[in-house]
Structure 1
């Protein structure tokens, strides 16, 4: 299943760094997100887009994982030639990440 089935996302950007939060619709799904969506998986998922490191911050009280991705915006929003390479585009791409469904 894709993450969008159990979570939504919010994003922000500053310079060449993107900040992407993954928020469980249902707090009961948070532990599943925490187990399946690691910094390494996110880095692999964004291969070719993110050129720097990815750090994950867990916020269990909010049912949220926050990912800080360096080198994610083609040099920065104002320098990039890509159309909407920031914010909404990155959150939509994260929500396409596949994880096992509840039975798998």
Structure 2
């Protein structure tokens, strides 16, 4: 199962920081998301993005995880030469992350 089958994302960017919130469609899926959508797996999935530091915040009451990716925007939205490597693009890419329990690819 891909992340996009059990969750949606909301994103934002400010300066050189991208934020990706992963929100379960069904709150019952939150425990799976908490186990499978780790900082290591997010960074592995977004391997082409140079991230200086990443922090995950857990919001179990909302069935959501929030990732703050510092340095992810190549100097900032207005300074980057990258084509649309902003929050929305990163969030859309993350929806292809496998959240199957038996998938060990990218485990850390």
Q: Find the counterpart in structure 1 of residue 105 from structure 2.
A: none
Q: Is residue 57 of structure 1 aligned with residue 68 of structure 2? A: no
Paired residue secondary structure (1:62): coil
Once the 2 structures are TM-superposed, how far is the Cα of residue 50 of structure 1 from its aligned partner?
3.0
**Matches of 2:51 and 2:20, distance apart in 1:** 16
**Matches of 1:84 and 1:39, distance apart in 2:** 22
Equivalent pairs counted in the alignment come to: 102
TM-score by length of 2: 0.89
Q: Is the 8 A contact 1:11 1:87 kept in 2?
A: yes
Once the 2 structures are TM-superposed, how far is the Cα of residue 85 of structure 1 from its aligned partner?
1.1
Unaligned runs of 5+ in 1: none
TM-score by length of 1: 0.92
Q: Find the counterpart in structure 2 of residue 30 from structure 1.
A: 30
Q: Find the counterpart in structure 1 of residue 42 from structure 2.
A: 42
CA RMSD, aligned part only?
1.1
Once the 2 structures are TM-superposed, how far is the Cα of residue 74 of structure 1 from its aligned partner?
1.0
Q: Is residue 98 of structure 1 aligned with residue 102 of structure 2? A: no
